[in-house]
């Protein structure tokens, strides 16, 4: 039994059987990365190119580590120091890399749909590591996997995603993934940062942070994506923090203990304070560890399709 898709371009291409298969495979790989010898020969002789047209720390390192743990050969490519800055097109760039006999491409791109576009023009398998404000499938998978690890199951759990929903690829992928796994999802943030037709995705909308936090089991705190904002969506970061920033005082005043998540990078003191990020209710570093296991699972299962 394998995945129903040849590429991982977005959560919307996966069915529930795919999600469960990825999670079960990640369980095995999590055992692998916690033992003294962390390497398995599963992808020996497979060459993977990491092509990043946008800045990244965690995602790029996580993919690279996952690839090396699977014994794949890894090629890293950063657009800022490449011929892209000389005017080379996306297809030419990738075809030149593929001419060197690369089997799989992990790509992050500032434009939505870049992975889908590329999948129609090249033969290699593609993993979307984030395309603009569209999707970030492996982040949603590792978030859902972390909830499953904490609670035993995702179905029936109440998850609120707080912050800049409008510009967040993490929010969209998380909504699609959590809904498919049977969770209840709410988004919370200023009206200007909530997309107009978010209701069509079957999520609740709340503008009051305290109400949202009292409703949920898990709060996923997103950062404000200033690099994607072409106009001002709120008066100031200070005002945003006063209304939507999570601090220890708010956390301790809630009716029940909730779990705090964050996809990173954290802007400490804006959407979340240090004492919350480092508290025992936070599973932020577990998410980072699970990211390697999930990405190992995705790469392994896709390579099995080839």
241 is in an annotated binding site: no
What angle is formed at CA 263 by the lines to CA 25 and CA 222, rounded to 5 degrees? 145
Other C-beta atoms lying within 10 Å of the C-beta of residue 83: 11
Q: Return the pLDDT at 234.
A: 84
Q: Return the pLDDT at 95.
A: 86
Q: Where are the beta strands (DSSP E) in the chain?
A: 47-52, 73-78, 104-109, 125-131, 158-162, 184-188, 204-206, 218-221, 259-261
pLDDT in tens, 257-303: 999 999 999 999 999 999 999 999 999 999 999 999 999 999 999 99
264 is in an annotated binding site: yes
59 is in an annotated binding site: yes
Is the pLDDT reported for residue 20 higher than 90? yes
180 is in an annotated binding site: no
148 is in an annotated binding site: no
Residue that the structure tokens 């939507």 belong to: 244
Strand order in the sheet with 158-162: 204-206, 184-188, 158-162, 218-221, 259-261
């Amino acid at each position: 039994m394998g995945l129903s898709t040849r590429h991982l371009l977005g959560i919307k291409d996966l069915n529930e059987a795919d999600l469960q298969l990825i999670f079960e495979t990640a369980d095995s790989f999590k055992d692998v990365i916690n033992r003294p010898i962390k390497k398995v020969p599963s992808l020996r002789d497979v060459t993977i190119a990491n092509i990043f047209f946008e800045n990244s720390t965690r995602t790029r390192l996580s993919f690279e580590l996952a690839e090396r743990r699977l014994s794949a050969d890894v090629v890293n490519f950063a657009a800022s120091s490449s011929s892209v800055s000389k005017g080379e097109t996306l297809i030419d760039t990738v075809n030149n890399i593929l001419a060197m006999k690369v089997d799989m491409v992990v790509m992050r791109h500032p434009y939505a749909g870049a992975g889908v576009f590329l999948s129609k023009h090249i033969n290699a398998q593609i993993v979307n590591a984030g395309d603009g404000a569209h999707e970030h499938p492996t982040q949603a998978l590792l978030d859902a996997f972390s909830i499953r690890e904490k609670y035993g199951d995702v179905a029936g759990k109440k998850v609120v995603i707080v912050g800049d929903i409008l510009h967040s690829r993490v929010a969209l992928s998380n909504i699609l993934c959590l809904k498919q796994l049977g969770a209840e999802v709410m988004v919370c943030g200023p009206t200007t940062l909530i997309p107009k037709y978010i209701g069509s995705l079957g999520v609740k909308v709340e503008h009051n942070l305290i109400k949202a936090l009292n409703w949920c089991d898990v709060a996923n705190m997103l950062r404000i994506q200033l690099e994607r904002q072409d106009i001002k969506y709120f008066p100031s970061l200070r005002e945003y923090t006063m209304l939507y920033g999570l601090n220890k005082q708010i956390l301790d005043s809630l009716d029940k203990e909730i779990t705090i998540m964050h996809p990173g990078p954290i802007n400490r003191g804006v959407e979340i304070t240090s004492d919350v990020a480092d508290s025992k209710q936070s599973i932020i570093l577990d998410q980072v560890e699970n990211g390697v296991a999930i990405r190992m699972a995705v790469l392994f299962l896709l390579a099995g399709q080839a």
